[in-house]
Structure 1
């Protein structure tokens, strides 16, 4: 009886479901007619976006080219503030604005922790993205069996990087950064180091040198995979020059071994070009490898670039030149582009400079998207980690994002929409703030905990992607997954 009763019930359910599926489906137009707000602009925009999303199709063909953009330290709040600022710089309210990479159809969240750090640094995160393996904070392209500072087992712990792999399978490669080219994120592409701070030989103790440590700048010149990296642009001249040699801006080198690594690079690549200024860069011929070092240390903030003594190109200009040169190789390419100074602006508690460098980053992504074909080029725009930036205050729409919040503190004092959980902006006199002062490029946003340098944040960051393989980004993923999507997309091109 029990079984017969349940069989009868199941038959009734199946019959009812069959009847439902035979009903004519309601079209979007039919549904809209039943919605009172169907003529509202917001409703219409939502419907238009829905139709666009419905027409999107995953690109499953091989990727000929891969471009990985990393805005160092550009977390979710930083991105929201950038979106509003960029819109406001164009004369709009800002909140409705859409950044270049926010048009990309695929999105995921990236978990940024390292194997030994809840809140990571740029060395461990860059290693994750460029090798497919999470590791310790502070080390470059080695696994976490190696303790920071211990060079004794570098060879055994070394990991294959995306740059090395791309060269080995015949792709052209490039690295562009507004930071020193020996800094953590770009260095993870070509160096294997027990400590990210070993940028030049002056950073190594005699004991570390005896243990086999090699400085990062010398590793760049010694890079021997494939045909060698085709394009290198960024800052950091001092780690390539002897201490008794002055660069184009009158700054001394800092190498203690008297090696002139720039001359060594030019000897290694007789057809190569070296540039120190934007004017020199524009005079470089279209063929041959390119090494361009525009500053003794990091390049200028975008907000200060116009007044740079030597003259520096923008991140978008460097990106465009890199793509042009790599495309001329005719064999597909891998390009790493870092907006390194977003991070430095946040560390300084200076949202103005951080976000202006963010605008330069968005412009560079837009340039890359315009110069490449979505059908054969995978573009990924992400961040390595976040910062402690927060946005609050119940301001009206269109309120300057670098301005004052609408409400006041319990003591009746004004406060800014943007602030940090910690950093150099703590403890300052905040009783007489006004929109002009807080919007100045040198203003440091208020912070809760006083620190000489604001810290990273540990929350997830966004991954935006378009092109072949981009559809593989969805949900929440580990940061090292980025490498696996790039490798999958590019490897298909070489083995089809």
Structure 2
């Protein structure tokens, strides 16, 4: 990604909070609308969390939906659940980002439809959807590939409904759950793909033994989408970067960033670079910083080798302000005595809290037309 031109920064906020989170942030970059905190695909005229019947003006319309209606091929690729905040903003309108498989009902009997159900109704023409989150689509009693009970409290099996819907429209389609199925698929013969490769989020790539990588899913998606002579729009999310930072596990976050870079490189190798606009950015920043004056070639996962704190303890170059290992009522630990290079090492933070950050974001681009 460092080879791409860096052209602009963007400021993240939403309609009612100074700092955004992923749901309203994704609404902003998918729809150009600033929405309320913790909502997905909602305009700033309503508030989070109460089940109400939405007016048309309160539903943010994503660029992916516009592209699909205009005849472009469209796709979503993510390492999170496909119903999670960022991918859901491409097709869903929910008043709380956690309404992925179960939407509440209000006192008047109106039922708020969950994101997974909206994937069928709103995204039936999206050609490629790949990621995790299969358990959001079926109930506890349904037999599935995964050893995890489904989360749906209704009697619907949305995976079967998706297959039936595609068959009724005589579409060349495939539902994928395993890496073997993924590798055996002839992408030149398929027009619609729903690939859910985990019951929850996909694994970190450092731990991934049997799931498609982000770059592999991106390649498959472009092979399907690029057959449309009119063009395509593809959303690719390296969502595990966010998870690694929320867990204060810098090695996970940084390795997932490299996985996103591989996906970008793969995309550029497959498209006509004179005809394709490629943008790379984030939905928000994290309370993460690279600090100190360590000598050159020191690993960013190590401690600063030139100084210690006033308490005569080392400190990590990759530091977090908040997170799960925040300091409570004891002196801080010395990371020099800990296994800080372990992939699952959790860094100590100042505040035990899970929050995103307000820092401005870079938008990298491959091509801008005058």
Report what 1:205 is aligned to: 104
CA-atom RMSD in angstroms: 1.8
Does residue 170 of structure 1 match 2:67? no
Report the structure number with the largest CA radius of gyration: 1
Give per-residue Cα distances to partners, 1:392-438, cap 9 Å, x unaligned. Answer: 12100110110111211112111111111111233377555338711
Decide which of 272, 284, 290 is 1:391's aligned counterpart: 290
Does residue 345 of structure 1 match 2:345? no
Structure 1 window deviating more from structure 2 (251-260 vs 376-385): it is 251-260
Decide which of 438, 444, 453 is 2:346's aligned counterpart: 444
How far 1:216 sits from its partner (Å)? Answer: 0.5
Report what 1:114 is aligned to: 14
Query: 2 CA distance for matches of 1:115 and 1:261?
Result: 33
Give 3-state SS (helix, strand or coil) of 1:378's partner: coil
TM-score w.r.t. length of structure 1: 0.70
Report what 2:366 is aligned to: 466
Q: How many equivalent residue pairs?
A: 360
Decide which of 291, 308, 314 is 1:414's aligned counterpart: 314
Does residue 278 of structure 1 match 2:179? yes
Report what 2:140 is aligned to: 243
Query: 1 CA distance for matches of 2:39 and 2:107?
Result: 15
How far 1:163 sits from its partner (Å)? Answer: 1.1
Query: 1 CA distance for matches of 2:40 and 2:66?
Result: 16
Report what 1:187 is aligned to: 88
Query: 2 CA distance for matches of 1:259 and 1:426?
Result: 41
Aligned pair in 2 of structure 1 residues 206, 193: CA closer, same or farther (>3 Å)?
A: closer
Report what 1:230 is aligned to: 127
Q: Report if the CA contact (8 A) 2:53-2:112 is conserved.
A: no
Report what 2:195 is aligned to: 292
Q: Report if the CA contact (8 A) 1:236-1:298 is conserved.
A: yes
Q: Report if the CA contact (8 A) 1:241-1:259 is conserved.
A: yes
Query: 2 CA distance for matches of 1:129 and 1:318?
Result: 22
Aligned pair in 2 of structure 1 residues 441, 206: CA closer, same or farther (>3 Å)?
A: same
Decide which of 142, 145, 155 is 1:258's aligned counterpart: 155
Aligned pair in 2 of structure 1 residues 161, 276: CA closer, same or farther (>3 Å)?
A: same
Give per-residue Cα distances to partners, 1:61-109, cap 9 Å, x unaligned. Answer: xxxxxxxxxxxxxxxxxxxxxxxxxxxxxxxxxxxxxxxx221224211
Give per-residue Cα distances to partners, 1:427-459, cap 9 Å, x unaligned. Answer: 3775553387111112112211123xx310111
Report what 1:104 is aligned to: 4
How far 1:379 sits from its partner (Å)? Answer: 0.2
Query: 1 CA distance for matches of 2:221 and 2:230?
Result: 14
TM-score w.r.t. length of structure 2: 0.93
Decide which of 264, 280, 301 is 1:402's aligned counterpart: 301
How far 1:150 sits from its partner (Å)? Answer: 3.3
Q: Report if the CA contact (8 A) 1:274-1:291 is conserved.
A: yes
Q: Report if the CA contact (8 A) 1:135-1:142 is conserved.
A: yes
Q: Report if the CA contact (8 A) 2:36-2:43 is conserved.
A: yes
Give per-residue Cα distances to partners, 1:191-221, cap 9 Å, x unaligned. Answer: 11111111012xx334379323101100001
Structure 1: segments with no counterpart, 5+ residues: 1-100, 472-496
Q: Which structure exhibits the higher relative contact order, with contacts defined as CA atoms closer than 8 Å and separated by 6 or more residues?
A: 1
Q: Report if the CA contact (8 A) 1:377-1:468 is conserved.
A: no
Give per-residue Cα distances to partners, 1:100-124, cap 9 Å, x unaligned. Answer: x221224211100111111111111
Query: 2 CA distance for matches of 1:208 and 1:191?
Result: 23
Give 3-state SS (helix, strand or coil) of 1:154's partner: coil
Query: 2 CA distance for matches of 1:228 and 1:162?
Result: 14
Structure richer in helix, relative to its length: 1
Structure 2: segments with no counterpart, 5+ residues: none
Q: Report if the CA contact (8 A) 1:151-1:208 is conserved.
A: no
Q: Report if the CA contact (8 A) 1:158-1:192 is conserved.
A: yes
How far 1:461 sits from its partner (Å)? Answer: 0.8
Query: 2 CA distance for matches of 1:247 and 1:289?
Result: 21
Query: 2 CA distance for matches of 1:153 and 1:323?
Result: 37
Decide which of 259, 264, 273 is 1:374's aligned counterpart: 273
Query: 1 CA distance for matches of 2:250 and 2:33?
Result: 32
Does residue 365 of structure 1 match 2:268? no
Written as runs of structure 1 = structure 2, the 5 A alignment for 1:56-135 is 101-135=1-35
How far 1:468 sits from its partner (Å)? Answer: 3.8
Aligned pair in 2 of structure 1 residues 197, 410: CA closer, same or farther (>3 Å)?
A: same
Give 3-state SS (helix, strand or coil) of 1:414's partner: coil
